[in-house]
Amino acid sequence: MKQLFITLSLAALLASCHSNSTEQENKAANSAANQATEPFEHVAEQFADLRVLRYQVKDFDALDLKTKTLLYYLYEAALCGRDINYDQNYKYNLAVRKTLEALLSTKSHDNESEEFKQLETYAKRVWFSNGIHHHYNNDKFVPECSKEFFIHALSHVDEKYLPLQNGQNKAAFVSFIADVIFNPEIAPKKVSLDSKKDLILSSAVNFYEGVNQAEASAFYSAQVDSTSDEQPMYGLNSKLVKENGKLVEKVYKVGGMYSWAIEKMVFWLEKAIEVSENEQQKKALQALVTYYKTGQLKDFDTYNIAWVNDTASVVDVVNGFIEVYQDPLGKKGSFESVVSIKDFEASKRIAKIGAKAQWFEDQSPIMAEHKKKKVTGISAKVINAVVESGDAAPSTPIGINLPNNEWIREKHGSKSVNLGNIVEAYEQAAGGSVVDEFYYNEEIKKRVKEYAPLADKLHTDMHEVIGHASGKIDTLVGQPHETLKNYASALEEGRADLVALYYLMDPKLVELGVMPSLDYGKAAYDEYITKGLIVQLSRIKLGNSLEEAHMRNRQMIANWAYEKGKAKKVIEKKQENGKTYFVVNDYEALRTLFGDLLRETQRIKSQGDYKAGKALIEGYGVKIDPVLHKEVLARYEKLNIAPYAGFIQPKLVPVMVDGKITDVKIEYPKDFKAQMLEYGKNYALLPSYN
Ligand code: ZN
């Protein structure tokens, strides 16, 4: 719930076409010597609707040995959880991935054929999405080659490399796996948010089995202890199944579900504890290990409190079952890990904003009773990612605000981070063609190109540091995921965006010295409206509606402001030469509208007003005008830019002397496929069927 993705931010959309399909397997190109002499290439390749980028870790070599060693252990722990996310996304994802890896590692006369290349592209898409469903729109995708070819290609693969199920022969396996991959009727949607259907039964995610939505909802409602205001996030770390007619949770822990991977993670975390920077960090890591051993959600809360209080460390790590986007009921946490180091320079900007959190809360247009009297523990910094895995890779958030548990946020605060080197990589990989195509005139284009890069950073800072942290829920009203259900994520993201938007046109940001002038705020408004109403439609197939929470919230906000300001032409729809534009005429009036909507979304969250929340999202954030949609798709296609981006991860290599680490080197691989095959070999810690 607390992630902010760049996929829609300007940098990603500005991207020009760098089709670099020639995969270089020149290992020397990865060496440190070449890094120093060649400019860093941020774009690796493009296929389907995806681009693969690379990022750098500033000044890694200058870190001391202890810090590097700590990063290395956390890096290994992160990658040990990679398989878990595949299995969570769909129960046959690991079998599909291992089959594809076996295929791509087998030499045969087919390897140069067109169809084999299509199969390879399919494998890359599976790696990119951690499974057979699109990482963003949730639809199952299929290879472009024929099923017959796939079956033929498998005939060359030795069966000992294939993930056969117990007692299955190769022929039965091939027919099973071909069906999983090619049959559009099988698991068509990863996460369904279609409120007309049973959300669990119509979703392919592997969080429930033999259980329907009503049963699962009742199961978790019954766990809520209304006498305590320190409720854990029930269901976060387990799969809910039916055994002998009874509902049972299979808990992710040492000795439980996913034990093989978790044991290995614990091994590395325990090594990390030995080289921790300070007592607080040590305490947090120890609490994390305890939680992985017990599987108790109370222990996870204890860990989170320790983690929130660890604000002095240079190295930080998110590791666990964290975000609940992949569960249609918003309960189950997907495994992710983000290992990072602090960026001191950039952190100064975000700290200036964080220091004024109470001022922002006091000035907010939300109702007085929904304001926090004391905004606690907002800690914000810019970090540079060192490695990301699970749900956070290859597609990555650019900002993270955790923990997600509301009571911990209210009593102990939260930590907000902005992933500086990831944002930087997006910017470096960018060009200006999207701005030229979708923005109305030269004045606006110039403003967006010049001011949006900083405005984007400020939007992220404000969204994470001030937005998610602001406001409070009325007493006796449950947590948003209980009250607002499947609309909770979109409404929460919308609320945080609105806080950011409202203040991006406030002279306070200029006064604080983080923004040179209000022109940056104007650029942010130009962008938000154009992206929310036009550009983001480029990522949706014709005939479909918006399903993803962040996309829904953006359209909801932009569309609502357009409709409410229509009479006064606050935002004007213009059509010229067959092209549609939305142009902001009155920035001050738009700011007032954003303030009004912020007040309403906060009221909805505070009071748990499901009906009003549903009306906002369904009324403004879901439906797409088919005529405009078709136009946008045609305009976007001409730009030849893949709309989604993800990253190849840096590689940490310890230098060992007599069994001791004497240094850790960082490498920046250039070949996505090679990295994925390497991970598949080194971090395949789970059986194919769990
Ligand atoms: Zn957010």
Angle at 426 (CA atoms; ends 104, 396), nearest 5 degrees: 60
Q: How far is the CA of 406 from the centre of ligand 1 (A)?
A: 14
The answer, yes or no, to whether residue 135 has pLDDT greater than 50, is yes
The answer, yes or no, to whether residue 341 has pLDDT greater than 90, is yes
Residue with more model confidence, 36 or 307? 307
Structure tokens at 69: 């060693």
Q: Is 669 contained in some domain?
A: no
Q: How far is the CA of 7 from the centre of ligand 1 (A)?
A: 13
Half-sphere exposure of 279 (CA within 13 A, CB side): 0
Q: Is 582 contained in some domain?
A: yes
> 516: pLDDT confidence band, cut at 50, 70 and 90?
very high
- Report how far residue 31's alpha carbon sits from residue 333's, in angstroms, rounded to the nearest whole number: 37
The answer, yes or no, to whether residue 434 has pLDDT greater than 90, is no
Q: How far is the CA of 579 from the centre of ligand 1 (A)?
A: 32
Q: Judge contact between 672 and 127, C-beta under 8 A.
A: yes
pLDDT attached to residue 411: 92
The string of pLDDT tens digits covering residues 107-118 is 998 899 999 999
Mean pLDDT to the nearest integer, 519-523: 97
The answer, yes or no, to whether residue 4 has pLDDT greater than 90, is no
Contacts by 432-436, CB closer than 8 A, 24 or more apart: 432/14, 432/16, 433/14, 433/16, 433/639, 433/641, 434/13, 434/14, 434/15, 434/535, 434/639, 434/641, 435/10, 435/14
Q: Is 245 contained in some domain?
A: no
Q: Is 36 contained in some domain?
A: no
Q: How far is the CA of 183 from the centre of ligand 1 (A)?
A: 35
Q: How far is the CA of 634 from the centre of ligand 1 (A)?
A: 30
The answer, yes or no, to whether residue 37 has pLDDT greater than 70, is no
End-of-domain residue from the set 163, 182, 201: 182
The answer, yes or no, to whether residue 482 has pLDDT greater than 90, is no
Structure tokens at 289: 């290990």
The string of pLDDT tens digits covering residues 43-90 is 899 999 999 999 999 889 999 999 999 999 999 999 999 999 999 999
Mean pLDDT to the nearest integer, 194-219: 95
pLDDT attached to residue 376: 59
How many percent of the chain have pLDDT more than 70?
93
| 382 bridge partner residues | 418
The answer, yes or no, to whether residue 31 has pLDDT greater than 80, is no
Q: How far is the CA of 324 from the centre of ligand 1 (A)?
A: 13
- Report how far residue 410's alpha carbon sits from residue 470's, in angstroms, rounded to the nearest whole number: 10
Q: Is 253 contained in some domain?
A: no
Q: Which string of DSSP letters, residue by residue, matches 352-380?
A: HHHHTHHHHHHH-SS-GGGS-SS---EEE
Q: How far is the CA of 144 from the centre of ligand 1 (A)?
A: 35
Q: How far is the CA of 552 from the centre of ligand 1 (A)?
A: 13
> 643: pLDDT confidence band, cut at 50, 70 and 90?
confident
Q: Judge contact between 207 and 239, C-beta under 8 A.
A: yes
pLDDT attached to residue 28: 33
pLDDT attached to residue 82: 98
> 184: pLDDT confidence band, cut at 50, 70 and 90?
very high
The string of pLDDT tens digits covering residues 582-603 is 999 999 999 999 999 999 999 9
Residue 219: how many CB atoms within 10 A of its CB? Answer: 18
> 6: pLDDT confidence band, cut at 50, 70 and 90?
very low
The answer, yes or no, to whether residue 21 has pLDDT greater than 60, is no
Q: How far is the CA of 515 from the centre of ligand 1 (A)?
A: 21
Q: How far is the CA of 565 from the centre of ligand 1 (A)?
A: 26
Q: Is 447 contained in some domain?
A: yes
End-to-end CA distance of the chain: 26
Residue 66: how many CB atoms within 10 A of its CB? Answer: 13
Which DSSP helix (H) or strand (E) runs through 334?
A: strand 334-342
Length of the chain: 690
Q: How far is the CA of 130 from the centre of ligand 1 (A)?
A: 22
Q: How far is the CA of 2 from the centre of ligand 1 (A)?
A: 4
Q: How far is the CA of 467 from the centre of ligand 1 (A)?
A: 8
pLDDT attached to residue 25: 30
Q: How far is the CA of 6 from the centre of ligand 1 (A)?
A: 11
The answer, yes or no, to whether residue 161 has pLDDT greater than 90, is yes
Instruction: Residue 633: give the domain boundaries.
Output: 343-645
Q: Is 455 contained in some domain?
A: yes
Cα 511–chain centre separation: 33
| Number of helices and strands in the chain (H, E) | 27, 16
pLDDT attached to residue 36: 46
Could you tell me the strand order of the sheet in which 414-419 lies?
Answer: 3-5, 397-402, 414-419, 378-390, 334-342, 315-323
Q: How far is the CA of 299 from the centre of ligand 1 (A)?
A: 25
pLDDT attached to residue 12: 35
End-of-domain residue from the set 612, 627, 645: 645
Q: Which of 260-264, 370-374, 417-421, 531-535 has the lowest mean pLDDT?
A: 417-421
Q: How far is the CA of 64 from the centre of ligand 1 (A)?
A: 34
Q: How far is the CA of 638 from the centre of ligand 1 (A)?
A: 31
Whole-model pTM: value is: 0.76
What mean pLDDT, rounded, does the chain reach?
A: 91
Residue 398: how many CB atoms within 10 A of its CB? Answer: 24
End-of-domain residue from the set 645, 665, 682: 645
pLDDT attached to residue 261: 98
Mean pLDDT to the nearest integer, 217-231: 92
Structure tokens at 377: 């523990």
Q: How far is the CA of 375 from the centre of ligand 1 (A)?
A: 18
> 10: pLDDT confidence band, cut at 50, 70 and 90?
very low
Q: How far is the CA of 361 from the centre of ligand 1 (A)?
A: 17
Total structural domains within the chain: 2
Q: Which of 109-113, 363-367, 378-382, 624-628 has the lowest mean pLDDT?
A: 378-382
Who's near 48: CB < 8 A, 6+ residues apart?
Answer: 121, 124, 125, 141, 642
Q: How far is the CA of 377 from the centre of ligand 1 (A)?
A: 18
